[in-house]
C-alpha cells in the first residue's frame, strides 16, 4: 500500500491485511535534561531543579513510540563506541526494536542538551556526533534486509544526502515514505513527489514555505509537489491536507509536564496505526491521544506510552476525531 490520502492497496495481494513493518532511519542521541523554573535568556544564568539522562534522538524516539504500540520496528543509524552508544542500543532492544542495522562508528554518540521549564516548554541543542556517519550504505543495508516494503520514517538529524538516497530508494521499492523535516531544512523539490506524507510542526512548516499560517503553508507544500501534508500544531491539534481533503484533528487537553518528544510520539503512533491499515481519521485521532499522554511525562523515550497505557488514556479522555477543515 502506498499512502496518498486513500486506503488503496495492491490488488490480489494475499498479505495486504497484515500489519506492515516500520523502518526508521535516523538519529540516536543521549539526552542530557535539566529542569528549571524558567528558560534562561541570553547571558542569563538560572538554577536547575533536576538533572537526568534519557535515551533520545528523533529517529530512536519514533522507533520506540511505534514499537510500544505494537508495531514491528527496525532502527537504522549510527552510535559511537562509547557507553552512551551501548546504552542506547541496549535500550532500543529492550523496548523491542530490532537493532541489527544500528552501527557503531569511531565518533562520539550524538547528544542533546535539553532545558525544560515549569510549564513544559523546552530548548534543545543537538550535537550530531555519530549520527553524521549514517550514509547511503546504511540505507541500502537496512532496506535490503527488510522482508517486504513497509513504512519508512525519516527525520532531519542525519545528513541530507542520506535522506535523499533513502527517499529515492524506498519510493522505488514500494515503501510508504514519511518525512518529519525536523530540524527544518530545505528539501529538494524533486524529492517532494516521492514522499507520501511530510510531517512538519508549525515552525518547520513556516521555515519551509515562508508562511506562518498553517493552511497556507500546507497549500504551498502541495504546490511544490508534496502528496500529502500533516502539520502538528501543539495545543491546536493537527492539520492534514491532500488533493482530496482537508482535515483538522483537535488535541487532547492535558497538563503538560514536558513537551520534548510530543512530535515523535505523534509520528510513531501515526505510523503504528497506519501499519495496522487503520483509516486515516483513526490514525490522526490515535496519534493525538498518544502525543497527549507523552507530554504528561518527563523525558523523551520514557514518556512514550504502551498499547495498554494509550488505551487507558483514551478510555479516560476520549480519542479526538478529525473534522473537515
CA torsion through residues 248, 229, 268, 212, sign: negative
Q: Is residue 47 part of a domain?
A: no
Per annotation, catalytic residue among 82, 100, 264, 282: 264
Q: Is residue 1 part of a domain?
A: no
Q: Is residue 122 part of a domain?
A: no
State yes or no: cis peptide before 183, omega within 30 of 0.
yes
- Among 4-18, 59-73, 127-141, 208-222, where is mean pLDDT lowest? 4-18
Q: What is the mean pLDDT of residues 257-269?
A: 93
Q: Quote the pTM value.
A: 0.91
Strands 228-232 and 238-242: antiparallel
Q: Is residue 300 part of a domain?
A: yes
Domains contained in the chain, number: 1
Q: What is the CATH number of the domain that holds 298?
A: 3.40.1190.20
Q: Is residue 280 part of a domain?
A: yes
Spatial neighbors of 60 by CB under 8 A, at least 6 apart, are 24, 26, 27, 28, 29, 75, 77, 88, 92, 97, 301
The whole-angstrom separation of Cα 2 and Cα 311 is 27
- What is the phi/psi pair of residue 37, to 5°? -70, -45
Mind listing the pLDDT tens digit for each residue in 269-325?
999 999 999 999 999 999 999 999 999 998 889 899 999 999 999 999 999 999 998
Report the interhelical angle of 262-275 vs 58-68 (nearest 10°): 50
Q: Is residue 70 part of a domain?
A: yes
Q: Is residue 35 part of a domain?
A: no
Of 25, 2, 24, 22, residue with least CA distance to 13: 2
* Residue 16 pLDDT: 60
Range of the domain at 300: 22-28+56-109+129-324
Mind listing the pLDDT tens digit for each residue in 11-27?
344 446 679 999 999 99
* Residue 12 pLDDT: 43
4 flagged as catalytic: no
The whole-angstrom separation of Cα 173 and Cα 231 is 26
Spatial neighbors of 308 by CB under 8 A, at least 6 apart, are none
Amino acid at each position: 500500500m502506498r499512502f496518498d490520502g486513500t486506503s488503496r492497496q495492491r490488488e490480489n495481494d494475499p498479505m495486504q491485511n497484515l500489519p506492515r513493518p516500520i523502518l526508521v532511519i535516523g538519529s540516536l542521541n543521549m539526552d542530557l535534561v535539566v529542569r528549571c523554573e524558567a528558560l534562561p535568556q541570553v547571558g542569563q544564568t538560572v538554577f536547575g531543579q533536576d538533572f537526568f539522562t534519557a535515551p533520545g534522538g528523533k529517529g530512536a524516539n519514533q522507533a520506540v513510540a511505534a514499537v510500544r504500540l505494537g508495531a514491528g520496528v527496525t532502527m537504522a543509524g549510527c552510535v559511537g563506541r562509547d557507553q552512551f552508544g551501548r546504552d542506547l542500543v541496549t535500550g532500543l532492544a529492550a523496548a523491542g526494536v530490532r537493532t541489527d542495522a544500528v552501527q557503531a562508528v569511531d565518533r562520539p554518540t550524538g547528544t542533546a542538551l535539553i532545558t525544560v521549564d515549569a510549564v513544559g516548554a523546552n530548548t534543545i541543542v543537538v550535537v550530531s556526533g555519530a549520527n553524521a556517519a549514517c550514509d547511503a550504505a546504511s540505507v541500502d543495508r537496512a532496506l535490503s534486509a527488510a522482508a517486504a516494503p513497509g513504512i519508512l520514517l525519516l527525520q532531519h538529524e542525519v545528513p541530507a544526502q542520506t535522506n535523499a538516497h533513502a527517499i529515492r530508494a524506498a519510493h522505488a521499492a514500494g515503501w510508504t515514505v514519511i518525512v518529519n523535516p525536523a530540524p527544518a531544512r530545505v528539501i529538494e523539490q524533486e524529492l517532494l513527489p516521492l514522499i507520501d506524507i511530510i510531517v512538519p510542526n508549525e515552525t518547520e512548516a513556516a521555515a519551509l514555505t515562508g508562511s506562518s499560517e498553517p493552511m497556507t503553508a500546507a497549500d504551498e507544500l502541495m504546490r511544490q509537489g508534496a502528496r500529502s501534508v500533516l502539520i502538528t500544531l501543539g495545543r491546536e491539534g493537527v492539520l492534514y491536507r491532500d488533493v482530496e481533503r482537508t482535515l483538522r484533528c483537535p488535541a487532547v487537553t492535558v497538563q503538560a509536564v514536558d513537551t520534548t518528544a510530543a512530535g515523535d510520539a505523534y509520528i510513531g503512533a501515526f505510523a503504528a496505526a497506519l501499519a495496522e491499515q487503520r483509516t486515516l481519521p483513526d490514525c490522526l485521532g490515535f496519534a493525538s491521544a498518544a502525543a497527549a499522554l507523552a507530554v504528561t511525562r518527563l523525558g523523551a523515550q520514557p514518556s512514550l506510552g504502551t498499547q495498554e497505557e494509550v488505551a487507558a488514556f483514551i478510555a479516560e479522555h476520549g480519542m479526538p476525531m478529525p473534522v473537515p477543515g
